[in-house]
Amino acid sequence: MRHAVAVLLLLLATTAPALADSPPRSRYFFGMGLVVRSAPSQLGSIGGVRHESYVARTIATPQAQLDLDAGMRWRAGLQLGPALFVAIDSGFGIVEIPDDPQMSAPFRQGSSATMLGVAGLRGELRHSTLGVELAGGFRHVTYCVGESLDVHEGYSGFQAVAELRVRGELRLGPAAMLGATVGTSLIDRGAWVGSLDVTFRPPRR
């Protein structure tokens, strides 16, 4: 990831004269798409949830255990200069809860929500763009574990998120771009994020 970021920064520096919009487009952009995120699990925080017919208690959550979230992401941003931009990145996902001896219960559901601020650099290469981003904010996760939808107990909590990302976009038309992002966590070992979305940036009139 570090080598990829270094290459992108070099590319942005060498293509700086060509970063001006042609034709000019709005400074504002927005998009939506799919996101998958691997994040530290908080299943070990659930305790004391018991019933005669099942056990729904995490005995010991390994430090390296990760949740896998899959859901939707929305993004709105502002181009501050030829290469610099900022954005708000929010998403909602379903959390996959593992089925193992430490988490054995008839009903298991999880969900997550993220709210991140993003700052980045990107350069245009004819019909595509390449960029690097820093994102930071929080993730809220909720676990529901028990006998059924009506009989269960839950746990929810917040965790900090800080990510370094590489992003590429391919122009679909005058106002739309297909984008893909791959990133890694700066604070949680083994955590990562990936997304596929469409971004709209209409021409300026």
Q: For domain 2-15+29-200, which CATH number applies: 2.40.160.20, 3.40.50.970, 1.10.150.530, 3.40.50.2000?
A: 2.40.160.20
Residue by residue, DSSP assigns the chain as -HHHHHHHHHHHHHTGGG-S-SS-B-SEEEEEEEEEEEEE--GGG----EETTEE---S---TT-EEEEEEEEEEEEEE-SSSEEEEEEEEEEEEEPP-BTTBB-SEEEEEEEEEEEEEEEEEEETTEEEEEEEEEEEEEEEEEEESSSSSEEEEEEEEEEEEEEEEEEEE-SSSEEEEEEEEEESSSTT-EEEEEEEEE-PBP-
pLDDT at position 156 is 87
Indicate the pTM of the whole model.
0.77
- pLDDT tens-digit profile, the chain (205 residues): 655 555 455 544 444 444 444 455 678 999 999 999 999 888 766 654 444 444 444 444 444 578 899 999 999 999 998 899 999 999 999 998 765 555 566 777 889 999 999 999 999 888 899 999 999 999 999 988 777 677 777 788 899 999 999 999 999 988 899 999 999 999 999 999 999 999 998 777 6
pLDDT at position 89 is 97
pLDDT at position 3 is 56
pLDDT at position 97 is 74
Closest CA to 176 of 150, 158, 143, 202: 202
Residues 165-199 have pLDDT tens digits of: 999 999 998 889 999 999 999 999 999 999 999 99
